[in-house]
Amino acid sequence: MNPTISKAFRASPSPPGSVVKQRLARNGLILTYTDAGTAGIFISATASGSAQGAREEHDNYETLYEALYETIGTLLTEKQLVITHERVFASLSCQHDLLYQRQQTLPRYGIDPNTPVTLIHGCPPWGSGLAGALFHAVPGSIAKPETLEIHGTPVGRIWSSGIADYARLQFGGNAGLSPQLDLEANEVFLAAASVLADNGFSLTDVTRTWFYIHDILDNYQLFNQVRDKHYTDFRLAKKSGAPLRLPASTGIGGTSANRSALAADFLAVKPKSEDTVRQLSNPAQKEAFHYGASFSRAVLIQEQTADIIQVSGTASIGGDGRTLHPKDGASQIACTLDKLETLLETVSASLNQVATANVFLKDPALWDIFQRIARKRGLAEFPGVPVIADICRNDLLFEIDAEVVMPKIGTTKCVY
C-alpha cells in the first residue's frame, strides 16, 4: 500500500465552515475520514455490495478484508494515530477470516492487533460478508493511549486530549448456548463500573454507550430494567425537574462474535472544565426516559478545535413517544432524518457534518430507498455503514446513530 495514502483521498463536498471530510473508494471499500484535531480522527469504511454480493469466491472476501486493514494501517501509520474504538459489522460466517486478516495485516504497520474490537453480526443489505467498520483514533504522541485489561484480556483504552481524559470500554459478553440477557447485562455494568473506578473514572462519567442486544424484541424491556437499576445505584436515574444526566446511547439488535446475549461499549469523559460535556434534547421528540429507556438524545463534547456530538440511535418516533409511519419504510427514513436534523440544529450543526454513522435497516430493500432519499437531501456521500438489524420495536423499520464533528468558529480544517 502506498505510504502516502492520504493523498489518494479527496475532499467530500461540504458547506463553508465545515470540518473537511476526505473520501477514498478502493478495493471494494468506501472510506471516509474526518480530522477533528484534539478529538481525534473518525473513519467510516463501508463495503461495496458489488464487491461482495455478486461474487462469493473465498479469495475475493479475503482480499476485501486485507484491503480494509491495509488501508487503515497505512493511514494510521502515516498520521501517527492509535485506534481507541473499532466496531466491525459482518455476517458471522466470515468473521473468523476477517479477524485472521486483521491479526496478519496490522502488525505489518507496527500496530498491535491485540486491542479491543467490537465484532457484531450485522449482515449487509446485499446478503452476507462485510458491511463495514467504524474507527476512532487519536494522535499517539499527544494522547498517549493505554490498553485496559481484565485478566489479560483487552477491554478498552484510556487517553487524554488535554481538554479531557477519556476511557473507552468494550465488552463482548460471555458465550453460551442459552444466553441470559439480564445476567450478562448485570455483569457488564458491574465490570464497567469496576474498570472505570480502577482508572480514576466513574459510571457517572459515561457520556455515550452502544448496546448490541441478542433478540432485542424479546429482551429490550429486560435490558432496560437492568440498566435502570445500575443507573439508579449511581444516581443517574431520571428525576422530575432535575438536570438530565443520562448518556447518549444506541440499543439495537445484534449478536457478538461469541453469540452472547449482549455486547456493550462505553465512552467515559472526565473533563478539565465543567462546560466540556453537556446533554442535548430534541425539540421534536420526548426524552426517551418518558417511555422507559434511560438515555439522552445526544451529548456534545467540546474539544479544542472541534466539538463532537454523539447522537443516540434515532428513529421515527413522535413527540408523544409513538411510532410514526409504522408500515412505511420510506416515510420512516425521511422522518428519522428530519428528527436528526432538528436535533443538530439546536447547536447549529447539520447532517453534512456527520463523520460516522450506522444505518440500521429491518429490510434490506430499505438501503436503496435510504440512498435515494439521502441524495435528494444533498447527502450522496453520507458516511454510514448499513446493517440489517431488528430495532427495539417491531413496527420500527429504520434507525440511525451518528458521530458529528462540528468545527469551532473560525476553524475550517482541523490539524494536529
The CA distance from 148 to 127, in Å, is 35
In which domain, by residue range, is 12 found?
Answer: 5-407
Q: Report, in angstroms and rounded to the nearest whole number, the Rg of the chain calculated over CA atoms.
A: 20
- Would you say residue 416 lies in a domain? no
Amino acid identity for residue 92 in this structure: L
Q: What's the gap between Cα 312 and its chain centre?
A: 9
Q: How confident is the model at residue 320 (pLDDT cuts 50, 70, 90)?
A: confident
Examine residue 311 and state whether it is found in any structural domain, yes or no: yes
Region of 274 on the Ramachandran plot (φ > 0 left; ψ -120 to 50 alpha; else beta): alpha
| 347 CB-near residues (< 8 Å, 6+ apart) | 280, 300, 307, 309, 406
**155 in any annotated domain:** yes
* pLDDT given at position 242: 46
pTM of structure: 0.92
Helix pair angle (181-198, 216-233), 10° resolution: 40
Sorting pLDDT into bands at 50, 70 and 90, what band is 103? very high
Phi, psi angle pair for 121, to nearest 5°:
-70, 105
- Identify the residue with better confidence: 281 or 53: 281
Does residue 198 lie in a domain region?
yes
pLDDT score of 15 more than 90: no
pLDDT score of 176 more than 60: no
What is the reported pLDDT for 138?
96
pLDDT at 413: 46
Residue 239 has pLDDT above 60, yes or no: no
Q: Could you give the C-alpha distances from 84 to 91, 135, 160, 236, 412, in angstroms and in order? A: 23, 8, 11, 26, 25
- Residue 39, domain member (yes or no): yes
Establish if 176 belongs to a structural domain.
Answer: yes
Residue 376's H or E segment, with its range, is helix 366-376
- Could you tell me the end-to-end alpha-carbon distance of the chain, in angstroms, rounded to an integer? 23
Read off the pLDDT of each residue in 402-407 and give the average, rounded to a whole number: 95
> What is the count of structural domains for the chain?
1
Q: Is residue 414 assigned to a domain?
A: no
Band of residue 131 on the pLDDT scale cut at 50, 70, 90: very high
User: Over 80: is that where the pLDDT of 66 sits?
Assistant: yes
Burial class (CB in 10 A: 0-12, 13-18, 19+), 377: middle
pLDDT digits 0-9 by tens, 368-389: 999 999 999 999 999 999 999 9
Mean of per-residue pLDDT scores for the chain: 88
Task: Classify residue 131: in a domain, yes or no.
Answer: yes
